[in-house]
Amino acid sequence: MARDENLEVAYKEAAEASGLGKSFLKKKGFLYAIMASSIYAFNSILGKMILVEGVEPLLLSFYQYLMGTIIILVAILLVDKDKFKITRVQLKQMAIQGIFGAFGTSLLFYLALNHLNAGIASMLLFTNPVFVTVFFAITGKKKLGKANYVALVFAMIGIVLVLDIFAVKGSEFSVMGVVFGLASALTYTFYNLYADFKMVKIDHYAVLFYTSLFGLFASWICVMGIHGAVPILSLHVLKYISIIAIFAGVLPVMFLYKSIELIGSERTSIVATLELPITLIIAFLVLKEHLNGMQIGGALLVILSVILLHRGD
């Protein structure tokens, strides 16, 4: 295992030493972001299906973290137990990320999803590139090129077209849902930025396990405070939550951190808006949510913004 990691590091350093290598790593970073977005899209659909069954957003978050933490724990025990070793500073950092970034985004998004359809809830979550870009523009911590701003404008116009509030059939516009959706965008912005600045040098398995563990702890405290005990869900619902735990709580998070490590949080966050058109398509096919010409045009504009971001520097 150590030898494999050394080879990977050596390969990365050799690749970074040449222009061709940098281009390859950049494309790899975009690919990771696209893979994360594609998998995340199913989270919205499955989450909506579970919430329709009458499951509370908080309970959905708790059981997702419970199953996800167990899965990651077993994976690390099988791969390399040394990945559990972290410093106190790193533990504190992952507590902040797990509670405010991961759990905060998960709970707020499910609350939004409880009031809105999957397409609109996803759209609100992915207004986060606006906040990321504003952060960098104000702080100057990273220099953004013209392509970033143009891509951002295209992405935001596309998202507005996708929203198309008054044309959404079978759904009422919920102010509370919009508030929760925008709040989830803010916490997701924090999640991306904190990962970019604090966590890219920490082993991905360790990050995944400890942030999930702290997310589980935070959700358990909330469940106990509200219910006094953890309500037991049906096997039918637990089956779907287990799928979310694996394909939304584990795999895409790994891809997301790898993407941030290679191309940075500002590019990753904009590429991640691909989840929106993917969610709309799946929601149309599975949940029968309405998808009109305006929304299709907006989805294509989002895709165009990602292509522009990839080609520009």
Q: Is residue 236 assigned to a domain?
A: yes
Q: What's the CA angle centered on 9, arms 6 and 14, to 5 degrees? A: 125
Q: Is residue 2 assigned to a domain?
A: no
What's the pLDDT score for residue 248?
67
Amino acid at 182: L
Rg of the chain's alpha carbons, rounded to an integer? 19
What's the pLDDT score for residue 264?
79
Domain count, the chain: 1
Q: What is the CA 247 to chain-centroid distance, rounded?
A: 12
What's the pLDDT score for residue 9?
52
> Per-10-residue mean pLDDT for the chain, 313 residues long?
48 51 76 81 84 92 92 87 88 94 94 88 78 80 76 79 58 76 92 84 85 95 95 88 78 78 76 74 78 75 71 53
Q: Is residue 20 assigned to a domain?
A: no
Q: Is residue 12 assigned to a domain?
A: no
H helix intervals, 126-250: 128-139, 146-163, 175-194, 204-227, 235-247
- Residue 271 and residue 62 in contact, taking contact as beta carbons nearer than 8 Å: no
Q: Is residue 177 assigned to a domain?
A: yes
What's the pLDDT score for residue 249?
66
- Residue 131 and residue 184 in contact, taking contact as beta carbons nearer than 8 Å: no
Nearest to 145 by CA among 133, 130, 159: 133
Q: Is residue 24 assigned to a domain?
A: no
Integer CA distances (angstroms), 30 to 23, 106, 246, 266, 274, in order: 11, 23, 22, 12, 11
Q: Is residue 64 assigned to a domain?
A: yes
Q: Is residue 78 assigned to a domain?
A: yes
Residue 46 structural domain: 32-311
What's the pLDDT score for residue 313?
47
